[in-house]
Structure 1
Amino acid sequence: MGKTVTRINKKKKILIRIGSLRHGGAEKVLVTFLKNLPENKYEIDLLLNLKSGKYLKDVPSWVSVYHLHKGEMITTNKPWEIPVKAFRRSYEELLKLFPKALYKFILKKQHYDIELIANHRLLEEVLKSPIKTSKKVVWVHNDLFSISEYTTKKLSNFFKADKIWVISEKIKSGFEKLATTREDREKLIRIYNPIDSQEIIKKSEEDINFTFTKEKNEKIFVAVGTVFPQKGFDRLIKMHKRLLQEGYKHKIYIVGDGYDFKNIHALVKSLNLDDTVKMVGYQENPYPFFKNADYFILSSRYEGYPTVLFEALTLKKPIIATDVSGVSEILQEGKLGKIVENSKEGIYTGMKQFLTQPEITQKYIQEMNDKELPFTLENAVSRLTTILDNL
């Protein structure tokens, strides 16, 4: 008699690397995916450079979390912090030189099917992996073509990976222009960021201390994001001041934290805007600020694919957004929101139009009510699992 052979479908073993799980778009997208991936299909190890961040608690229990350092991110150069920063940097550089040590003593793994970096800055690390049989994937969340440090030569290095995941058509187009072979072009895959609309709506109902005293017919803008120069909060504040000087009353909430927080706060002070600009810092739940504002504004100098716009759309907030990567795609060429020139003048013009022509904002609200968000949580997760299964 012949032997009966029982086939066991093995789980795919995946290593995912990211700097930390602090507040940020890439971090949020990653954790949202992890929470919705089927446990029975994958065995996932998550390696953090720094074990910290608001999203750490949201990582599913079946995902194994490893780290290089513990503690909080250091964003200043206080004398007592410099040795810690230097040690962390030296340790990371040492592991880049001797990657086998990382896999032997920290991960304690000799095999992965897929090695994915969810932060493009870790490209060198994944390419130096001692596991030669794994598929190397780099996930690009920013429009690197708008960042001066990313030269053509540096961007071409991304094609050394097996796959390049990009989050917008604009970023994909940029890499396609750099591709020299059909094989390079086939490495590019468009990944859709997941949007959990029901969670956003539910969280927006929570009470907050919305501290502004709002005068009759006075409008409030809300801007949400990590406080980095990339987000352009400095030019938003300057255009806010200009509009106030011209007699257009309005107020602004800035929700978020980051290494540029003190500089932006100092700018608010220097322009005497304490009564009209509130910097509320990092918020575990930013959605009530969306809901209680009249308009959402994205003042970024560059982006990858600003998922925050989907959050504003979910809560039916008229949007002004600078013309950066992903905006035209998300706002359907301007049907769902106002796309302005990526400049101070563009921000000023968009805000002034919203303040003086309320019928325009009503038109956007009507469009939002008539449209269904294209990238649902279910669709995004389904596409990601298909991509992982085909690697």
Structure 2
Amino acid sequence: MAKKKILIRIGSLRHGGAEKVLVTFLNNLPREKYEIDLLLNLYSGKYLGEVPVFVNVLYLNKGEMITTNRTQDLPRKVYRKVYQAFLKKFPKVLYKSILNGKQYDIEFAAIHGMRDDILNSPLKSSKKIVWIHNDLRKTHFHNYNDAEIRKFFGFDKIVVISEHIKNDFEKLARNDFERQKILRIYNPLDTEKVIASAGKPLEIAKSNVPTFVAIGTVFPQKGFDRLLRVQRRLLDEGFSFNVKIIGDGYDFEKIKKLKEDLNLGDYAEMTGFSNDPYPHLKAANFFVLSSRYEGFPTVLSEAVTLKKNIIATDVSGAREILENGNLGLIVENSEEGLYEGLKKAMQDHEIFLEYQQNLNNHVLPFSLENSVREIMDIIDGL
């Protein structure tokens, strides 16, 4: 049987949840079954080295993301934007040049931001899939209204990662045909790898105070700014604890400056990106998810896998993962909610003993194998 030809599009392979999930998915596909081209807008990112060798990586531009407006960077930044806009407006040029006129069976938008790029493909016979990782109504760059979300029904299949997002799409579906396009599939999570990695030795300074660890790309969605402000407030009230933020992103220097402005000193640490954050997660007393919005936060599933004490804002996916608060403390999605949650963590030890008991008896309702198989079933069925 001939291999199915698949085009997958994503912006880059930076250190984000959707990028990590995509690479995990690709590494668990049978290489003999599919012929995959992965087209990046920008050939950069921490996960480039993890793309399996059978995947052909193509790109529009090469180099690191330019997040500043420094004079010396502007020509390259403008060129990239103009070039990408040109190829988006004239997709036939892209398909004839970079993609060498290849005919694909499946075209796959690995993130919602590639919606128009895939829907405007000149290949009218290809089947089209989109993978939505965020609550579209709360994204930082573009809050989608009903009309914008309706455009996703142009895809043959809409893969969403939480019940919250699925329910939102189902409310906008106009008939059973559209409702059948929507499929909730949990993100592929390699729990065995998480557990094995967490067991690696980690040299950390001993501390007599609890440590709260937060993990994610450093940009506004993750709410690290409000986490640090809450820490300052609690320190001023006499509580003593450390916060460790593991991650990098275009807001890194801004959050680092906030840490300095708040005079948090050694009580707060920003480690930058880590390929292997799991030893840090395992060593911490608490995991805190301070996000303003999510789709289905993979890192929260990882914290459950490692049976950590958890405080999480009430974002999409949190109630599914934490079983409506049986496995961890879900707080109001606000700075005040985080304040109350961290304070409770240091005052109410009994409730966290109860969470630990529930975690020890908990079996994750999803698996790497099931998630990969479900997505393969979609591809094979189109």
TM-score (norm 2): 0.97
- Other-structure match for 1:235: 226
Structure 1 position 386, deviation (Å): 1.3
- 2:72 corresponds to: 80
- Partner of 2:42: helix, strand, or coil? strand
Matched, 1:162 2:153: no
Query: How far apart in 1 are the matches of 2:89 and 2:47?
Result: 30
Query: Which letter does structure 1 place at the counterpart of 2:63?
Result: G
CA contact (8 A) 2:287 2:311 kept: yes
Q: Which has the larger radius of gyration?
A: 1
Aligned residues: 380
Which residue of the other structure, out of 95, 110, 118, is the alignment partner of 2:102? 110
Give the counterpart of 1:196 among 177, 185, 190.
190
Q: After superposition, where does 1:253-264 map in structure 2 within 5 Å?
A: 253-264=244-255
Pick from 326, 342, 356: which aligns with 1:365? 356
Are 2:207 and 1:214 aligned? yes
Is the counterpart of residue 300 in structure 1 residue 255 in structure 2?
Answer: no
CA distance in 1, matches of 2:378, 2:158: 12
Tell me the SS of whatever aligns to 2:38: strand
Alignment of 1:347-366 (within 5 A): 347-366=338-357
SS of aligned partner of 2:69: coil
CA drift at 1:115: 0.2
Could you tell me which amino acid in structure 2 is paired with residue 305 of structure 1?
A: F
CA distance in structure 2 between the partners assigned to 1:181 and 1:317 by the alignment: 42
Q: 2:313·2:330 contact (CA, 8 Å) conserved in 1?
A: yes
Is 1:272 the counterpart of 2:266? The answer is no
- Cα distance, 1:206 vs. partner? 2.5
CA contact (8 A) 1:113 1:133 kept: yes
How has the CA–CA distance of structure 1 residues 109 and 368 changed in structure 2, closer, same or farther, with 3 Å as cutoff? farther
Secondary structure class of the residue paired with 2:378: helix
What's the CA shift for 1:180? 1.8
SS in 2 for 1:43: strand
Distance in 2 (CA, whole Å) between partners of 1:84 and 1:208 is 40
- Contact 1:163/1:188 (CA < 8 Å) preserved in 2? yes
Aligned amino acid, residue 136 of structure 1: K
Q: Give the alignment's Cα RMSD to 1 decimal.
A: 1.2
Matched residue, 1:57: 49
Give the C-alpha shift of residue 46 in structure 1: 0.5
CA gap 1:77/1:207 in 2 versus in 1, 3 angstroms: farther
Deviations 1:8-56 (A, max 9, x none): x221111000001111100011010100011122111100111111111
Q: Which runs of 4+ in 1 moved over 6 A?
A: none
Tell me if the contact between 1:110 and 1:131 (Cα under 8 Å) persists in the aligned partners: no
Unaligned regions of 5+ residues in structure 1, if any? 1-8
Trace 1:1-391 onto structure 2 (pairs within 5 A).
9-147=1-139, 149-211=143-205, 213-215=206-208, 218-391=209-382
Q: Distance in 2 between matches of 1:181 and 1:86?
A: 43
How far apart are 1:155 and its partner, in Å?
A: 1.4
Q: CA deviation at 1:269?
A: 0.6
Name the aligned partner's letter for residue 350 of structure 1: G
Distance (Å, rounded) in 2 between the aligned partners of 1:343 and 1:266: 21
1:361 CA displacement: 1.5
Contact 1:220 1:294 in 2 (8 A): yes
Q: Following TM superposition, by how much is the alpha carbon of 1:159 offset from its aligned partner in structure 2, in angstroms?
A: 1.2
- Give the letter aligned to residue 94 of structure 2: L
One-letter amino acid of the structure 2 residue matched with residue 232 of structure 1:
G
Compute the displacement of 1:257 (Å).
Answer: 0.7
Contact map agreement 2:219 2:250 (CA 8 A) in 1 = yes
Do the aligned partners of 2:212 and 2:243 also contact (CA within 8 Å) in 1? yes
Q: Secondary structure at the match of 2:80?
A: helix
Partner AA of 2:178 in structure 1 = D
| Cα displacement string for residues 210-263 of structure 1 (whole angstroms, at most 9, x for unaligned residues) | 24x412xx2110000001111111111111111111111111000001111111
Residue type of the partner of 2:188? P
Note the residue ranges of structure 2 that are not aligned, 5 or more in a row. Answer: none
Q: Distance in 2 between matches of 1:123 and 1:90?
A: 19
